[in-house]
Chains A and B, each alone.
Chain A
Amino acid sequence: MSASKLVIATRTAFSGFELDLEVALPLQGVTAIFGPSGSGKTSLLNVIAGNLRARDGRIVFGDEVWQQANPGIWVPPHRRGVGLVYQDGQLFPHLSVLGNLDFAAKRAPEAGAGHAFGDIIAAMDLGDLLDRDPQTLSGGEKQRTAIARSLLTRPKLLLLDEPLSALDSARKAELLPFLETLKSQFAIPTLYVSHDVDEVSRIADRVLMLDAGKVAGFGATDDVLSRFGLEAGRNPYENTSTLLGIVDEQSPGSDLLAIRVGRGQIWLASDLALEPGTDIQLKISARDVSIATTRPEQISIQNMIEAEIVSLNEAKRPAFQTVELSVYGQRLDAVITRKAVSDLALIPGRKVYALIKSATFHS
């Protein structure tokens, strides 16, 4: 694509916070907008889309002026051609999946290279879902439908507002490939809001860092992430631990894998077909780990492994604590309620069992 840019300049106070920035984002590939919650990421998207009106804002898309103060120009949201995908999909409840998609297709502009209805449905794998009621869809299915719906309007610009944050780690892992398809197959300039380093490092070409409504950094993804000491796998905004293990076996007829970690073994669900003996990295979110002080059941296939409590630390929310565990020498963090910590008498040095709800696999 050409070197056209999306220029955003605004210095406005909204209720509760302020946006003060001036950036020119290349209209090509995926630009991540990254920052802690409350930094203004979602508001920035809403300003670009036209849902929020900054009094003194200036927004120029290539050579189209969308908003300007002097002389006053304002293009309403429905004329900007900006697709917006929300955290929870926001599908219309009174229409089926197909109805939602048709809604978009009917209003798409005729001109311009668009992608065929069928291609988009196939790319988002919606073939079986077309006559479903949106309320019966899973989180991931809703998001895929929402993305397809936006694509059908042939947007000039795609804004994704934390599209994966409402999903658990396993669902996220399922959906990321679709996002990568989105990028490679449809090539629409995209702004991707997230607070997850893994997503950002996988998808984004460049990163705009926001902090309290101001620009904290901007540049190529790897540059910006390393400049701020953020690495995939060690995410300060979402606590993820990495365990190294070896595949022991795959249970026949199901998608469970037995992974050997240290001297222990744990069964986890995975779509991947892996050979025994494969080295594997397990990325486990602290939210997906819980702690038991006794073995709950005497069955052989269990998603738990022996661990020892190393220390108790603060967690993001005051009602919780982060429990640092050692699994045969490897660090695993769990986020547990304070009440549970005191009820179970979790203290450093105690031997417990870590139950792992889900993990993503990286070879």
Chain B
Amino acid sequence: MSLPDLSALWLTLQLALITTIVLLIIGTPTAWWLAQTRSRLKPVFEAFIALPLVLPPTVLGFYLLIAMSPNSWLGGFWVSVTGDTLSFSFAGLVIGSVIYSLPFMIQPLQTAFEGPVKQAMRTAASLRASPLDAFFSVAVPMSVRGFVTAIVLSFAHTLGEFGVVLMVGGNVPERTRTISIEIYEHVETLNYGDAHALSAILLVVSFLTLLSVFMFNKRYPAHVRV
């Protein structure tokens, strides 16, 4: 395979990895809050977070395009801080991917946190563990399955992202030309050979990623013994 194609693959993996890490950092406290809160606004937040599951990626991409424009608040702020537009940049793709894959990180975590973890936190408090201490020593080990599912789903989902990248990426080689864009272009220009090769790679990588989750869940119990 020629060089541009490999760089697209590498770029896509990078995007998926960074997006997943960002999602882990912002998603974990959010999922925790959702699991604990008794606020009446909880369903509103849950609906918002679930939106990327049902909206066409083009809708998301469209609004992102407008929000990232230097004329708008977000885009303008970004230009003033970095001197570069948010659209057509890798950072812009990360932001788009984070929103696009948000429910895939938050929902499995929230489910894990709403189970037996809740009572275990009370037990931990009775054993003099502070909430932060209890979170890391009890909640996290008891939620390993949820974490694994969330991480793998977010990663795999971002690998396959197309609509959002198409709308705001600008197809810049080695910056925003992801593997799905590359495949699309090959199909458009009737390079079916290259399209097959890249599609096969993406299919295999995605399948192996998902397979690893299911094998992990089968082999290990619902939590990890430490």
A residues with a Cβ closer than 8 A to B are: 49-51, 76-79, 81-84, 86, 90, 92-96, 99, 103-104, 107-109, 133, 149-150, 153
Whether A99 contacts B226 by the Cβ 8 Å rule is yes
Q: Which chain B residues border A50 with CB–CB below 8 Å?
A: 125
Report Cα–Cα, A51/B125, bound state, in Å: 9
> How many pairs of residues, A versus B, come closer than 8 Å at their CB atoms?
68
Would you give the 0/1 interface string for B119-139, flagging 1 where the beta carbon is closer than 8 Å to chain A?
A: 110111111111101100110
Supply 16 further A-B pairs (C-beta < 8 A) apart from A81-B128, A99-B225, A150-B126.
Answer: A51-B122, A76-B131, A77-B122, A77-B126, A78-B126, A78-B131, A86-B123, A93-B223, A94-B141, A103-B124, A104-B127, A104-B128, A107-B129, A108-B128, A133-B225, A153-B126
Report Cα–Cα, A22/B171, bound state, in Å: 72
Q: Is B95 an interface residue (CB 8 A)?
A: no
B77 to chain A, nearest CB (A): 39
Q: Please give me the residue from chain B that is nearest to A83 by CB atom.
A: B126
Q: Is B224 an interface residue (CB 8 A)?
A: yes
Whether A103 contacts B122 by the Cβ 8 Å rule is no
Q: Is B86 an interface residue (CB 8 A)?
A: no
Q: Is B15 an interface residue (CB 8 A)?
A: no
A-contacting residues, B98-157, CB 8 Å? 116, 119-120, 122-131, 133-134, 137-138, 141-142
Q: Lowest 3 A-B CB distances belong to which pairs?
A: A84-B126, A77-B125, A94-B223
Contact of B126 among A82, A93, A94, A96 (CB under 8 A): A82
Q: Which chain A residues border B141 with CB–CB below 8 Å?
A: 94
Q: Which chain A residues border B134 with CB–CB below 8 Å?
A: 78
B130 to chain A, nearest CB (A): 5
> Among the interface residues A93, A99, A150, which one has the most CB atoms of the partner chain B within 10 A?
A93
B146 to chain A, nearest CB (A): 13
Q: Which chain A residues border B223 with CB–CB below 8 Å?
A: 93-94
Report Cα–Cα, A99/B224, bound state, in Å: 13
